[in-house]
Copies of this chain bind each other. A is one copy, B any other.
Amino acid sequence: MTEGRRMYDICKEIFPLNRSITGDAVRETFRILQNYIPDIKFDMHEVLSGTKVCDWTVPDEWNCEEAYLEGPDGERIVDMKDSNLHVMGYSLPTDITLPLEEMSEHIYYLKEQPEVFPYVTSYYSPRWGFSMSYEQFKSLKPGNYHAVIKSTLAPGSLTYGEILIPGDTKDEIFLSSYTCHPSMANNECSGPSLIVALARYITDMPKRRYTYRLVLAPETIGALTYIEKNLPYLKEHVKAAFNLTCCGDDRAYSIIHSRYADTYADRLLTHVLAESGNKFDEYPYIKRGSDERQYQAPGVDIPMVCFCRSKYHIYPEYHTSADNLDLISPRGLQGSYDVMTKCIQLAEHNNKYRTTTLGEPQLGKRGLVPTMSSKETYQQTLALKDLIAYADGTNDLIRISELIRQPVGLLMPLVDKLLECGLFEIVD
């Protein structure tokens, strides 16, 4: 079974839950994810409603048991049972009958995409509402409509989880995604499934220079909570951070750069995407939209980029009922897994190296090149010689790769050979 297939199974299992930024569906999501990696422990955290986090406050916990809208003839127009996107996130409890005209103020739809219904929430302002397709909305007959929302909005807590996988140093690679959207596949389920797959990959690595931290929290308020609790430690130790979202379709590869497109994470992911041979889309920070908004905010400054397949806000199904399990695929998820594991491999190898000889080493006596020079053999050993020529202790492997125009994939085994025979040393 491919990793992509395993990831798709995770998505399928967590898709139906009615997640929001708080609530039992989030906790249930973590229970499911934990089952896929029984040996790797999620540290779970609960943060009480009312807690101040940065400029925000953890809201009351929302749970919703039932929600439907009945028409003049008593028929169910929309029902949360069919799709939890039908009820606005954080809807107040209600049981009210209103004529269509008044009820319409509580109905959301997308005129430009008349066949799908939108994902809507109102976390910080008391409201209630339903979402339906514009086609359905247009077909509503005049008359009285009965709205029933059996929700609770009450003191509780915000839930997040993290995994820490120690390495040889305290330098950290930080990976995050979120758990706060109801039934959307690409813009929700793909992220946690990739986090779980990477946790397994990292744990299975024979050795790790970096410590890896993987965090799943509700978007925005969860990221802010995590930042407020951990910022000094993160600032000291995180060398590269990746926010993972919309990782499941197979139409594109995207990077949303950091504020100045200049962090180590930008370099790693850009290099991996460029070397992959896949076309990929680069977005500046002004096109941000997920938790890089918080981690890269002024004063926070965690060196984070965001990785997507098709980018949020760009693909037409985003934040609609069309972002479902048909949109993502094992193949799409596998592509994201491959990119991120290559980033990890590269980070682990991307040292600065220095040759231990003055002048060129004699490669022939070490069996690294043919011993008889001729016009033909010269070119064959050029890649090896170029690697050595730029190993002056000032360039990391990415930079050498750019300077000598050879892929990191080719250079990494050569580096291993040179370290082994003592011609290279790592520069701290």
Contacts and interface: CB of A to CB of B under 8 A. Distances in A.
Contacts of A54: 357-359
B319 A375 contact: yes
Contacts of A289: 378
Contact of A118 (B124, B127, B371, B375): B375
Contacts of A371: 122, 124-125
Interface residues of A, number: 64
B125 A359 contact: no
Contacts of A227: 358-359
A386 B297 contact: no
Contacts of A318: 375
A358 B55 contact: yes
A220 interface: yes
Contact of A297 (B124, B299, B389): B389
Interface stretch (A4-12, A156-164, A361-369): A361-369
Give the number of times this chain occurs in the complex, counting copies. 3
B285 A389 contact: yes
A303 to B, nearest CB: 14
Nearest to A287: B382
A360 B55 contact: yes
B110 A359 contact: no
Nearest to A355: B298
Interface string A399-424: 00001110000000000000000000
A140 B188 CA distance: 75
A228 interface: yes
A359 to B, nearest CB: 4
A358 B405 contact: no
B127 A372 contact: yes
A19 interface: no
A24 B227 CA distance: 72
A330 interface: no
Interface stretch (A30-38, A43-51, A337-345, A390-398): A390-398
Interface string A300-337: 11000000000001000011100000000000000000
A355 B299 contact: yes
A359 B389 contact: no
Given A373-B121, A374-B108, A297 B358 contact: yes
A196 interface: no
A231 interface: yes
A217 to B, nearest CB: 13
A201 interface: no
Contacts of A296: 389
A66 to B, nearest CB: 22
A239 interface: no
19 contacts: A54-B358, A55-B360, A55-B362, A56-B362, A110-B375, A118-B375, A120-B373, A124-B365, A127-B372, A227-B358, A227-B359, A285-B389, A286-B389, A289-B378, A293-B389, A297-B355, A298-B354, A298-B355, A299-B358
